[in-house]
Every structure is written in structure tokens, then in C-alpha cells.
């Protein structure tokens, strides 16, 4: 892994998978492209708005190869979730090369108007 100052330098692709509302027992991906910056002892990831106008904001701490953090997503104003804001927590592991992070997220969602806790997988991959 690289040193602390450039651990998350450059552009990163963030993808998480969530249960599909259209296809039972399947997952759909949500993808973002963004960059990290360091704020005190935390790393902050902020995506660019994607093609549909959604964006992702992540705060996390790094303990060797273990990452623990929170995420906030503003969904597309014109998409299926009508501009809703979602948030949750995650834990993940960064690979030895420092180019990929894989883990699990948890957060609140709705199923036909009933609030429910969802979980799924996520990854950050260094672009280029």
C-alpha cells in the first residue's frame, strides 16, 4: 500500500449494489466517479454528479487495511428514487496494492412505503 499522503490520490470509481425493485432476487449497481481528500484524520470521497444528476459523499477512517465509514447519496431527481437522500455505514478492506477497496454497506430504504434496513456490497477502484 502507498504512504498515507497518497493512499487515495487520483480518480476513483465507486460502485455499490442494491436489491432491485424491478427484478426480484437480483442486484442493480449504482456507480460514481470522484476523488478523495484528507480532512484531519478522515478521508472524504466526493463524486461528480453522474449522468442522471445523482452524487455520493463518503467519510471514512483508515486503520491499516481496514476502512470504516459513512456514506450519503442524493439520488437522481428524475430517476426511480425521485431525488431521495439515503445514508448508511460501511466497512471495507483495501488491497495491498492500494488500488481496490471491497466491503459491505448497510442503510435504510423503503419497500412499498415500509422502511427497511438493507445491506449490500461495495467497491472503490482507482481509475486508470
| Residues comprising the chain, all counted | 128
Q: Which domains does the chain have, with CATH numbers?
A: 11-126 (2.40.160)
pTM of the model: 0.87
Cell numbers given for 64: 491499516
Cell numbers given for 90: 460501511
Cα separation, 42 vs 33, in Å, equals 19
Q: Which of 66, 71, 69 is nearest to 30 (CA)?
A: 71
The residue to which cell 470509481 is assigned: 13
Q: Which of 113, 114, 57, 123 is nearest to 92 (CA)?
A: 123
pLDDT in tens, the chain (128 residues): 444 657 898 999 999 999 887 888 899 899 999 999 998 889 999 999 988 889 999 999 999 999 999 999 988 888 777 778 889 999 999 999 999 999 999 998 877 778 899 999 999 999 97
Amino acid at each position: 500500500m502507498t504512504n498515507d499522503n497518497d493512499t487515495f490520490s487520483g480518480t476513483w470509481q465507486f460502485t455499490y449494489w442494491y436489491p432491485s425493485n424491478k427484478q426480484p432476487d437480483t442486484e442493480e449497481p449504482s456507480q460514481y466517479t470522484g476523488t478523495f481528500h484528507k480532512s484531519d484524520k478522515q478521508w472524504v470521497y466526493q463524486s461528480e454528479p453522474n449522468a442522471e444528476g445523482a452524487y455520493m459523499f463518503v467519510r471514512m477512517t483508515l486503520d491499516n487495511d481496514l476502512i470504516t465509514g459513512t456514506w450519503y447519496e442524493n439520488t437522481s431527481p428524475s430517476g426511480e428514487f425521485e431525488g431521495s437522500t439515503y445514508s448508511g455505514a460501511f466497512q471495507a478492506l483495501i488491497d495491498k496494492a492500494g488500488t481496490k477497496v471491497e466491503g459491505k454497506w448497510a442503510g435504510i430504504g423503503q419497500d412499498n412505503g415500509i422502511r427497511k434496513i438493507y445491506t449490500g456490497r461495495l467497491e472503490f477502484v482507482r481509475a486508470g
